[in-house]
Amino acid sequence: MKILLMGNPNVGKSVIFSRLTGINVIASNYPGTTVEFTKGFLKTPELTAEIIDVPGAYTLSPTNKAEEVAVEMLNAGNTDLVINVIDATHLERNLYLTLSLLEQNIPVIVALNIWDETKHLGIDIDLQKLESLLRVPLVPTTAVTDEGLEELISRIPEAKSELPPHPPRTDDERWAEIGSIIKQVQTITHRHHTFTEKLSDMTIKPATGIPIAILVALLAFALIIAIGMGLRRFVLLPFFEGFIFPPIRTGVTAIVPEGIIVREILIGHFGVLIDGIGWPLALVLPYLLAFYLILAILEDTGYLSRLACLLDILFHRIGTHGGAVIPFLLGFGCTVGGILSSRALDTQRERIIVVTLMCMAIPCAAQTGAIVALLAGRSIPALVIVYIIAFLFILIAGMIMNKLLIGSTPTFFMEIPTYRIPNLRAVAKKIWMQVSSYLFQAVPLIVFGVFIAAILYETGILYHIGILFKPIVVGLLGLPAEASVGLILGIIRRELAIAVLLNLDLTIVQLIVGSIVALFYIPCAAVFPILIKEFGVKYAIFIVLSTIVIAFIMGGIINATFALVF
Amino acid sequence: MDETRLFDLSSGETAIIKHLAGGQRFQRRMAALGIRVGKTVRQITSQPLRGPIVIEIDRSLIAVGQGMAEKIVVEAIEPIKKIDE
Ligand SMILES: Nc1nc2c(ncn2[C@@H]2O[C@H](COP(=O)(O)OP(=O)(O)O)[C@@H](O)[C@H]2O)c(=O)[nH]1
């Protein structure tokens, strides 16, 4: 049996999907598109079914790529049943898709989701009446607490009963029908303004909203750094220094005799068993955790949409719109994640601008962790300077691209959801998804990077590379020759270019220059397969060359400026 | 006759949507978020420097960029006194 889960975006489809299917889900791209969908299985004593979480759609007459995919899936022919998820707090506009689905020759069952919120919003829906008007089973559900989901599953067989499909209607006929249904089933009682509405007003009106946004941004940044530093200093470092590294050191010392290169590779200057574990797990992981926690809270409360609206004008200057705030912020977590989420942008031109900026000047959480570890202990102003330079670069480079690239900027248009208390389970799940992809995909790369560094260092190759790069690293950037190893490792992972500097003894100016060069330098190796897949080889080569050139130019300028001033 | 557009409304003003000046695709995009002819909208705020306009329609907040707000023709209605305030 094959079941499609369909509904408008943001109605709780994914939550219902994960509740129905459990853990065995597969996410894939719809053939020939960048639209992603997930597939899983529902098993009960009565039935086994494949369930597909179809991309959110408002209509069956596609207005975007996601809707095209939704319609193609529906028309694929082998669908036994559609579970139509609708948002009870926006019944009227959700019914448009419901009526369109009922005009197809496919059994439908309706999940009237977000049922929990109707009461305090003063919305009263006559369920029996609505069910009899739609002539298909209708179940009120609250996906986040599992309410109604059992009944939904138990009534699936009812939807199979053959119904005469409604004859297709025109748009006007549909809206007229919806108007009549709403009149019969929905009553809205007047209620007083709630606190969340006042908060909503305050955060969206520019006079109060802009100062609040600045405060929120500063607070978020401070919290990420505080949580990250706290975890590192008080939990992870003591743990690794206390319980993990000493036995490793003793063990290796006992087994591998002195003077053998293997010993140095394992526990020496770039020891794979020391730095290879310590960098990814005690240096980067705490910041990654902190970042995704704060981002999930901002997103799930509904604040990000308001930020998108406030920042729209700024984003317009760089050729995109407020909607780009989400891929942008995700880019501060992981460049790969940011590139993937940029698919949601309307045009290829916007994607190119956003992704180029991300590859050049947006530090990922791993790199932020490394930069903070490098700078915060020495000089907070230095840390601030690095971020201000990155911010100015993003603004200026974005404006230049907006001028150079042909095409126009699409208009901002989106719903601003009511404020909600984030669902703990949903937040935890989101964080786990991000962190697990880091642990299983990025960490092996970091270990590999440290391994390469150890070999280069212990064999003396690094010394020769240092001589090769000396004119640039020492002459132009004013860094010690040893820092050139960062330029090799930086190809593998963004934060490795910085981590190398941790082992050196640098002045404040050198720290700033090193951070800036590493920040603008080539994004990590995991980025390139995706760049090639999504934008082609030429673009990927452009990114490699431009990031190297820009990194050296920016580093050179800063080094020269400080040399002049001090 | 001069038409009032969505972006002509000031904060707190209420209006009825008269006409959506765009093709079917545009109409559908608007309808997806509940913006249809005959609906009542309330302007909540507009962002400075010709930024997006935020409106309330059927108890949802929607941000509409200038390009789109120009295509939404409305007729302002007299503000009704609220009983509870
Ligand atoms: N209050 C409430 N929130 C819900 C319910 N179902 C989903 N949500 C929230 O609605 C938001 C959108 O859900 P999601 O599943 O991502 O929507 P989708 O776009 O339809 O897949 C999330 O923040 C959910 O936590 C519900 O029944 N009640």
pLDDT tens digits along A256-310: 888 888 888 998 888 899 989 998 999 889 999 999 999 999 988 999 999 999 9
What number is the ipTM of this complex?
0.89
**Structure-token pair, residue A520:** 């603008």
- Residue B60 falls within a domain, yes or no? yes
Q: pLDDT band for position A35 (50/70/90)?
A: confident
User: Å from B33 to nearest chain A CA?
Assistant: 7
Contact A313 B50 (CB under 8 A): yes
* B14 belongs to a structural domain: yes
The response to whether residue A12 sits with its C-beta less than 6 Å from ligand 1 reads yes
Check pocket membership of A72 for ligand 1, CB cut-off 6 A: no
Kindly state whether B84 is in contact with chain A, defined as any CB-CB distance less than 8 angstroms. Answer: yes
Using the beta-carbon criterion (under 8 Å), do B28 and A322 form an inter-chain contact? no
For residue B84, being part of any structural domain is answered with no
Strands (E), A292-397: none
Looking at the 3D structure of chain B, how many domains does it have? 1
Expressed as residue numbers, the domain containing B19 is 3-76
Q: What is the per-residue pLDDT across A117-129, written as a single tens digit (0 to 9) for each?
A: 898 888 999 999 9
Cβ–Cβ < 8 Å for A448, A265: no
- Residue A402: per-residue pLDDT: 95
| Region A19-38 average pLDDT | 73
Write out pLDDT tens, residues A97-114. 999 999 888 899 999 999
Report the distance separating Cα A374 and Cα A279, nearest Å: 12
Where is A537: in which H helix or E strand? helix A537-565
pTM: 0.87
Does A177 sit in the ligand 1 pocket, CB within 6 Å?
no
Q: How far is B43 from chain A (nearest CA, A)?
A: 11
3-state SS assignment for residue A132: helix
Residue closest to B29 by CA, chosen among A102, A96, A59, A66 = A59
Put simply, the answer to whether B34 touches A90 (Cβ < 8 Å) is yes
User: Residue A447 C-alpha to ligand 1 middle, in angstroms?
Assistant: 38
pLDDT in tens, A46-90: 888 999 999 999 999 887 788 889 999 998 878 899 999 999 999
Q: Please provide residue A162's backbone torsions phi and psi, each rounded to the nearest 5 degrees.
A: -65, 130
The amino acid that residue A105 corresponds to is: N
Distance (Å, whole) CA A32 – CA A546: 30
Please tell me if the CB atom of residue A495 comes closer than 6 angstroms to any atom of ligand 1.
Answer: no
Residue B82 lies in a domain: no
Q: Which residues pair with B57 in a beta bridge?
A: B60
Residues sharing a CB contact under 8 Å with residue B85, sequence separation 6 or more, in sequence order:
none
Q: Do B36 and A413 touch (CB under 8 A)?
A: no
Helix (H, G, I), strand (E, B) or coil at A262: helix
* CB < 8 Å & 24+ apart, contacts of A152-160: A152/A83, A152/A109, A152/A111, A153/A20, A153/A42, A153/A44, A155/A109, A156/A3, A156/A47, A156/A49, A156/A81, A156/A83, A156/A109, A157/A46, A157/A47, A158/A109, A159/A81, A159/A107, A159/A108, A159/A109, A160/A80, A160/A81, A160/A107
- The Cα–Cα gap between A467 and A473 comes to 9
Between CA A506 and CA B18 the distance in angstroms is: 67
* β pairing state of A81-87 and A2-6: parallel
Any domain includes B85:
no
Tell me, yes or no, whether B61 lies in a domain. Answer: yes
* DSSP conformation class of A284: I
What is the rounded radius of gyration, in angstroms, for the C-alpha atoms of chain A?
27
Distance CA A30, CA A38 (A): 10
Residue B81 lies inside a defined structural domain of this protein: no
Work out the angle between the directed axes of helices B24-32 and A91-102 (0-180°, nearest 10).
120
Across the interface, do A90 and B58 touch by the CB < 8 Å criterion?
A: yes
Nearest to A192 among B32, B51, B84 (CB): B84
Shortest-distance Cα residue to atom 10 of ligand 1 = A12
pLDDT confidence of residue B84: 47
Give the gap in angstroms from C-alpha B17 to the nearest C-alpha of chain A: 15
Nearest-CA neighbor of A361 among A346, A349, A371, A347?
A371
Side-chain half-sphere exposure of A356, counting CA atoms within 13 A:
28
Residue B78: is its pLDDT beyond 80? no
Domains of chain A: 2-188 (3.40.50.300), 206-565 (no CATH)
> Given an 8 Å threshold on Cβ–Cβ distance, is A414 in contact with B59?
no
What pLDDT does residue A341 have?
85
Mutate to test the pocket of ligand 1, among A10, A35, A112 (most ligand atoms within 8 A of CB): A10
Contact residues, chain B, for A415 at CB < 8 Å: 33, 60-63
In whole angstroms, how far apart are CA A146 and each of A26, A27, A149, B6? 22, 23, 6, 41
| Cβ A471 vs Cβ A424: under 8 Å | no
Answer whether residue B83 is part of any domain: no
Which of A153-171 are b and which e, b meaning 16 or more Cβ less than 10 Å from the residue's Cβ? Answer: beebeebeeeeeebeeeeb
CATH of the domain at B28: 2.30.30.90
Q: Is A15 in the pocket of ligand 1 (CB under 6 A)?
A: yes
